[in-house]
């Protein structure tokens, strides 16, 4: 059968389909009023919620560092000198990355519209999803950094209290014992961090992985147009 | 603006129904996609300028939405072929020749990619390459290349069915 024969068959079929599903103005108005969110709308909403949550979390971490811990603890905690720049550095990185994402998100939003060319639309959705993915990883990294710093501080404090009472101070701890303490600490910390990271990554891919693959495939198919021109 | 929008959509709703019909098999998916397209049209309506025809703009938004929503693939052609609903309609409306053509077309189209579906829909709607290029945003040359590939693919798929 020739394709041109299909045109007439399609014309008859599609006009019957249109008649069958035709809606009145009131029905269309009703559909508009009861609109549901599309996947991209939901991702967009999640990004904004995510940014809010991360902002609150960052504010909490900074307030906790500067004010809360001093207020709660009766005696000030003693940290080794190397831990202070590590803490400050991680906070600076987190805040800078967060600001970068907020700016990037608004830039994408400004150039995003459903009536642009498909190529631009696909890139816009991919950018939004990539931003969401990175924002998600930022949240994971913030959580992990916080876990590492808190774990290191807790471990140090614990060892210090124990050694103060037993050997007269952490300075008197032998190298082998110090290595054992670090080893045991890492043995707890590494699986905990890796487990948290992979669990969260798996969750993200489960939710959006397939959509990302489909978007990339479609974009790749469109990009072939450039090659076909050559 | 809402009144004007509703009026113009009511008059041109056939475009949305045709897009839904090519991309969705199940009534439920079809209703969802119709609503999604409607919402996207409403959102982008303020930015519509009469630089292009309204139908061109409407096709673009509708196809963009359908392609990026990645509704469940049309059911892969099984032994019975086209979906029950479409088959029933075909039985009511057409002679057995037309019914076979629709059945084969549905089965073959279900195996095309989202972009290919958009091009074949516009082809079936008798759009010129120039307009297909304007709607899909790909060059006329590539539309020709793509159309040739789709024709070959469809012929092959439909011959398998025959």
Q: Is the pLDDT of residue B148 over 60?
A: yes
Q: Assign B75 a pLDDT band (cuts: 50, 70, 90).
A: very low
Q: Is the pLDDT of residue A227 over 80?
A: no
A36 touches chain B (CB under 8 A): yes
Q: If we measure between CA atoms, which residue out of B36, B38, B27 comes closest to residue A37? A: B36
Helix (H, G, I), strand (E, B) or coil at A16: helix
**A65-89 tens-digit pLDDT:** 777 766 766 666 666 677 777 777 7
Q: Assign B74 a pLDDT band (cuts: 50, 70, 90).
A: very low
**B95-126 tens-digit pLDDT:** 556 667 777 777 888 888 889 999 999 998 98
* Mutate which: B48, B70, B87, B107, vs A, most A CBs within 10 A: B70
Q: What is the pLDDT of residue B72?
A: 54
Q: Assign A230 a pLDDT band (cuts: 50, 70, 90).
A: very low
Please give the C-alpha separations between residue B38 and each of A113, A207, B5, in angstroms, as whole numbers: 14, 25, 10
Q: What is the pLDDT of residue B79?
A: 37
Which CB contacts under 8 angstroms, 24+ apart, belong to A171-177? none
Contacts of A68 by beta carbon, 8 Å cutoff, 6+ apart = none
Interchain contact, B139 vs A31, CB within 8 Å: no
pTM score, whole prediction: 0.73
Which ipTM was obtained for this model?
0.75
Q: Assign B38 a pLDDT band (cuts: 50, 70, 90).
A: very high
Taking residues B3-27, what's their average pLDDT? Answer: 89
Nearest to A121 among B68, B93, B115 (CB): B68
Interchain contact, A114 vs B114, CB within 8 Å: no
Strand partners, B78: B81
Q: Which residue of B has its CA nearest to A24?
A: B10
**A31-58 tens-digit pLDDT:** 888 877 777 777 778 878 878 888 888 8
Percent residues over pLDDT 90 in chain A: 0
CB contacts, 8 Å: A228 with chain B: 141-142, 145
Q: Is the pLDDT of residue A220 over 80?
A: yes
Most confident of A122-126, B79-83, B109-113, B114-118: B114-118
**A153-205 tens-digit pLDDT:** 787 878 777 777 777 777 777 778 778 878 888 888 888 888 878 887 888 88
Residue with tokens 């090519």: B22
Q: What is the pLDDT of residue B121?
A: 92
A35 touches chain B (CB under 8 A): yes
Q: What is the pLDDT of residue B82?
A: 41
- Report the C-alpha gap between B137 and B122 in whole angstroms: 13
Query: Per-residue b/e over B67-88, b at no fewer than 16 CB within 10 Å?
Result: bbbbbeebeebeeebbbeebbe
Q: What is the pLDDT of residue A79?
A: 65
Q: What is the pLDDT of residue B20?
A: 92
Q: What is the mean pLDDT of chain A?
A: 79
């Amino acid at each position: 059968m020739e394709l041109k024969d299909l045109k007439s068959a399609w014309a008859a079929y599609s006009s019957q389909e249109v008649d069958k599903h035709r809606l009145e103005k009131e029905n269309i108005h009703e559909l508009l009023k009861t609109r549901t969110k599309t996947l991209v709308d939901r991702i967009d909403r999640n990004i904004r919620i995510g940014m809010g949550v991360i902002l609150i979390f960052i504010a909490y971490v900074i307030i906790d560092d500067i004010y809360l811990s001093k207020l709660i603890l009766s005696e000030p905690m003693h940290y080794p000198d190397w831990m202070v720049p590590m803490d400050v550095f991680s906070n600076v990185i987190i805040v800078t990355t967060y600001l970068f994402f907020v700016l990037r998100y608004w830039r994408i939003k400004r150039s995003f519209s459903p009536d642009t060319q498909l190529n631009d639309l696909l890139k816009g959705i991919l950018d939004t999803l990539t931003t969401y993915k990175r924002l998600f990883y930022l949240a994971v990294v913030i959580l992990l950094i916080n876990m590492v710093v808190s774990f290191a501080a807790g471990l140090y404090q614990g060892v210090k209290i124990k050694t103060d009472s037993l050997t007269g101070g952490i300075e008197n701890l032998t190298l082998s014992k110090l290595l054992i303490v670090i080893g045991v600490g890492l043995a707890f910390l590494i699986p905990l961090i890796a487990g948290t990271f992979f669990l969260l990554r798996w969750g993200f891919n489960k939710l959006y992985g397939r959509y990302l693959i489909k978007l990339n495939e479609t974009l790749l198919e469109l990009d072939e147009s450039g090659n076909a021109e050559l | 603006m809402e009144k004007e929008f509703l009026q113009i959509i009511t008059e041109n709703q056939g475009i949305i129904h045709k897009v839904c019909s090519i991309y969705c098999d199940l009534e439920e998916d079809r209703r969802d996609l119709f609503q999604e397209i409607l919402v996207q049209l409403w959102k982008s309506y303020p930015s519509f300028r009469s630089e292009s025809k309204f139908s061109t703009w409407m096709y673009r938004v509708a196809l963009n939405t359908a392609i990026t929503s990645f509704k469940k693939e049309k059911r892969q052609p099984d032994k019975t072929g086209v979906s029950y609903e479409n088959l029933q309609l075909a039985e009511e409306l057409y002679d057995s020749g037309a019914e076979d053509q629709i059945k084969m077309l549905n089965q073959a189209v279900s195996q095309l990619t989202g972009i290919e579906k958009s091009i074949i829909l516009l082809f079936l709607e008798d759009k010129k390459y120039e307009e297909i290029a304007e709607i899909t945003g790909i060059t006329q040359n590539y539309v020709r290349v793509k159309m040739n590939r789709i024709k070959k693919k469809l012929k092959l798929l439909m011959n398998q069915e025959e």
